[in-house]
Amino acid sequence: MYAQFYRDEVRTMINIDKLIIGFDGALRTLLTPAQTLRSVPGSELPEAELTDIEKRLSCALMRVNHVGEVCAQALYQGQGLTARNEAVQQTLMQAAREETEHLAWTERRIAELGGRKSLLNPLWYGGSFAIGVVAGMLGDKWNLGFLAETEHQVGAHLAGHLQLCLIMTRRAVPL
Ligand SMILES: [Fe+2]
């Protein structure tokens, strides 16, 4: 009886720890500048000369990408919070940490283009976090399947953005 009570207490404490870590992650993602250890890809390249319209479009694309990185943070943290397997939890938390660099890169590019981040980021974060929590609660098989499909969709989305950027760059700097 006492052992059961003790186990429940420990489990509650662990869950509270996880919630605090999740809340901390949300605050860091939404309110503080993201940090990167690796250099920003493309920072060694000369800036393309873009027209105002191309710059605005480029900035809009990067804002969408940044939202995607915010959502990735929230998804991984939500999934990690409810994942049943310890190894899956650790992998998801590590993935969230790695995504922080993408967040920093997109943030920096938005600033270089003179734009701003989405004002709806808290909403995107909350929605993605909730989806991640539900995916984790469905079990590791569904959780990892959801993760794989999300990455697949992100890859397809980024390929579309790259095509648009290439078209703009070729117009600005004939190759
Ligand atoms: Fe990313």
Could you tell me the pLDDT band of residue 8, with boundaries at 50, 70 and 90? low
Tell me, yes or no, whether 48 lies in a domain: no
What tens digit of pLDDT does each residue of 13-32 get? 557 887 788 888 888 888 88
Q: Are 113 and 66 in contact (CB under 8 A)?
A: no
What is the residue type of 85?
N
pLDDT at 37: 84
Instruction: Give the Å distance between the CA of 46 and the centre of ligand 1.
Output: 24
Tell me, yes or no, whether 27 lies in a domain: yes
What tens digit of pLDDT does each residue of 109-149 get? 999 999 999 999 999 999 999 999 999 999 989 888 988 89
Instruction: Give the Å distance between the CA of 9 and the centre of ligand 1.
Output: 36
Owning domain of residue 101: 2-34+67-172
Q: Are 73 and 23 in contact (CB under 8 A)?
A: no
Task: Please tell me the total count of domains within the chain.
Answer: 1
Tell me, yes or no, whether 98 lies in a domain: yes
Tell me, yes or no, whether 28 lies in a domain: yes
Tell me, yes or no, whether 61 lies in a domain: no
Tell me, yes or no, whether 59 lies in a domain: no
Instruction: Give the Å distance between the CA of 113 and the centre of ligand 1.
Output: 20
Q: What does pTM read for this prediction? A: 0.80
Q: CA dihedral in degrees (141, 92, 32, 127; nearest 10)?
A: 0
What tens digit of pLDDT does each residue of 148-167 get? 898 898 888 888 888 877 77
Task: Tell me the three state secondary structure of residue 45.
Answer: coil
Q: Are 66 and 117 in contact (CB under 8 A)?
A: yes
DSSP category for residue 120: T
Q: Are 76 and 93 in contact (CB under 8 A)?
A: yes
Instruction: Give the Å distance between the CA of 83 and the centre of ligand 1.
Output: 20
Q: How far is Cα 40 from Cα 49, in angstroms, rounded to an integer?
A: 19
Instruction: Give the Å distance between the CA of 151 and the centre of ligand 1.
Output: 9
What tens digit of pLDDT does each residue of 63-114 get? 999 999 999 999 998 998 888 888 888 888 888 888 889 999 999 999 999 9
Residue recorded with tokens 């609660």: 137
Tell me, yes or no, whether 107 lies in a domain: yes
Give the chain's length: 175
The 10 Å CB-count burial string (b at 16+, else e) for 32-63 is: eebeeeeeeeeeeeeeeebeeebbebbbebbb
Q: Give one DSSP letter per residue of 6-38, joined into a string.
A: HHHHHHHHHHHHHHHHHHHHHHHHHHS----SS
Instruction: Give the Å distance between the CA of 74 and the centre of ligand 1.
Output: 12
Tell me, yes or no, whether 44 lies in a domain: no
